[in-house]
């Protein structure tokens, strides 16, 4: 799914656009005991509760694509009889009215979801009447082309509220606040089927993880039957390893700076594009070659890319490029400049030793004290 398609679904989680049919829930204690369950028409909920659920649902589709929002594809095996994809299709088609299927759904999550504390499993069903669009992207409300029927599952931590004093308006006094079990924003969620090209794609799901570094591999494998892609952090580390391996003895400050500058120019060309740019092996190879990497080093690029990253793997530009700063770190010092000002850092040989030189332009401060340029 792309940003536009995610935004289109998020817009449904408002009172004016809502078409959610049912909501189900299961409260799990200590990570394994089903404490209570419910199943009801979504719009029958009290208005103040509706807004709380809308907030949770919108949060489950929030974040950065490629980091904590991942497009996952089901394995062929998961589509077979008894597989995860087939099960989710049955669940969606039941419109959440089959209690036996719901029990299986809750049991599968409890079995595969590693969490020590209490949590709430939320599940909604919706049938979205997809409006047609003009060539200019303007929606035509009376020109519906298709219906996108989907389920959205959220797993939210349930934790005790903080202790403290609270004001009792009735008695006009401050008293000790009672601690309640409070539902937090989702840690994990998934949308099935994915809304690709503004239509249902039963072969894909959109997965959300609050923590991009903790994607819950076992849950993805067992519950969804999908292969966990490299996390954003792992892809960044893999790219760094690729640079070191290809450049070898030529991996100098200047060489890395050249690659960074080339990536900066690539990002600038993509500024008007809302979707994150994905770089395959050939695109990364072009970046290296145009950054001045020597021909003899480029001869081993393909082999290194296949071994370190994977031949068919694509790297999202926002995962491997730090748009905020360019950093040089030594054992005793850290030099950091804005990503677009790498020209301020130079390597010079002084008294027979390589030195990092920073070009001082304009006012400067040392420990918060404004200093004057040396005369």
The structure tokens listed for 42 are 């979504």
CB 358 within 8 A of CB 365: no
How far apart are the C-alpha atoms of 33 and 36, rounded to whole Å?
9
Q: Which two tokens stand for residue 150?
A: 């989907």
Going by C-alpha positions, the residue among 148, 124, 153, 149 that lies closest to residue 60 is 153
The DSSP code for 154 is E
pLDDT at 224 over 90: yes
- Classify each residue of 131-155 as buried b or exposed e, where b means 16 or more C-beta atoms within 10 Å of its C-beta: beeeeeeeeeeeeeeeebebbbbbb
Share of the chain above pLDDT 70, in %: 95
pLDDT digits 0-9 by tens, 121-159: 999 999 999 987 666 666 666 656 689 999 999 999 999
The DSSP string of 54-115 is HHHHHHTT-S-BTTTEEEEEB-TGGGSTTSHHHHHHHHHHTTT--HHHHHHHHHHHHHH---
Specify the residue for token string 């998020």.
10
Question: Tell me: the pLDDT tens digits for 191-200?
Answer: 999 999 999 9
For residues 375 and 314, the model is more confident at 314
**Alpha-carbon distance 6 to 51, whole Å?**
19
pLDDT score of 38? 94
Low-confidence winner among 17-31, 55-69, 74-88, 137-151 (lowest mean pLDDT)? 137-151
243 to each of 16, 256, 374, how far by Cα in Å? 51, 8, 38
CA angle in degrees (0–180, nearest 5) for 99-130-187: 50
Region 356-363: mean pLDDT is 81
Sequence-separated (6 or more) residues with CB below 8 Å from residue 276: 64, 65, 66, 316, 317, 318
Better-predicted residue by pLDDT, 283 or 135:
283
Q: At what angle do helices 301-308 and 232-247 cross, to 10 degrees?
A: 150
110 and 240 Cβ atoms separated by less than 8 Å: no
- pTM equals 0.78
CA distance 163 to 168: 15
Per-residue model confidence (pLDDT) at position 314: 84
Cα separation, 69 vs 209, whole angstroms: 7
The residues spanned by each domain of the chain are 3-224, 232-370
Per-residue pLDDT at 352 exceeds 90: no
Q: How far is residue 178's CA from residue 164's CA, in Å, rounded to a whole number? A: 8
Q: List, in sequence order, the alpha helices (H) in the chain.
A: 3-10, 47-59, 84-93, 99-112, 217-219, 232-247, 253-269, 281-290, 295-298, 301-308, 317-320
Cβ–Cβ under 8 Å, residues 246 and 285: no
237-282 pLDDT tens trace: 899 999 999 999 889 888 999 999 888 888 888 776 767 788 889 9
């Amino acid at each position: 799914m792309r940003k536009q398609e995610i935004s289109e679904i998020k817009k449904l989680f408002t009172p004016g656009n809502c078409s959610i049919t049912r909501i189900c829930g299961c409260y799990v204690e200590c990570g394994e005991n089903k404490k209570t369950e419910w199943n009801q028409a979504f719009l029958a909920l009290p208005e103040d509760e509706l807004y709380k659920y809308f907030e949770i649902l919108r949060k489950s589709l929030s974040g950065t694509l490629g980091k904590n929002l991942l497009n996952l594809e089901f394995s062929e095996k998961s589509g077979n009889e008894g597989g995860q994809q087939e099960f989710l299709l049955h669940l969606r088609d039941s419109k959440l009215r089959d209690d036996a299927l719901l029990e299986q759904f809750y049991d599968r999550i409890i079995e595969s979801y590693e969490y020590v504390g209490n949590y709430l499993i939320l599940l909604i069903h919706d049938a979205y009447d997809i409006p047609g669009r003009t060539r200019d992207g303007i929606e035509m409300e009376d020109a519906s082309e298709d219906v996108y029927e989907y389920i959205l599952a959220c797993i939210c931590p349930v934790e005790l509220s903080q202790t403290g004093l609270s004001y009792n308006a009735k008695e006009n006094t401050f008293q000790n606040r009672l601690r309640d079990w409070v539902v937090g924003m989702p840690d994990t969620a998934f949308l099935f089927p994915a809304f690709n090209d503004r239509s249902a794609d039963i072969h894909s799901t959109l997965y959300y993880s609050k923590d991009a570094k903790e994607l819950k591999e076992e849950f993805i494998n067992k519950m969804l039957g999908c292969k966990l892609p490299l996390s954003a952090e792992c892809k960044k580390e893999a790219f760094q390893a690729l640079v070191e391996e290809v450049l070898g003895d030529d991996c100098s400050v200047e060489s890395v700076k050249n690659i960074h500058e080339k990536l900066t120019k690539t990002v600038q060309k993509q500024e008007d594009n809302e979707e994150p740019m994905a770089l395959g092996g050939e695109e990364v190879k072009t970046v290296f070659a145009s950054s001045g990497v020597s021909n003899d080093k480029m001869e081993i690029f393909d082999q290194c890319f296949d071994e370190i990253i994977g031949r068919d793997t694509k790297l999202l530009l926002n995962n491997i490029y730090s748009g905020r700063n360019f950093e040089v770190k030594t054992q005793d010092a850290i030099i950091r400049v804005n990503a677009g000002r790498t020209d301020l850092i130079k390597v010079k040989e002084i008294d027979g030793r390589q030195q990092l030189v920073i070009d001082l332009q304009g006012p400067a401060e040392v420990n918060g004290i404004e200093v004057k340029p040396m005369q």
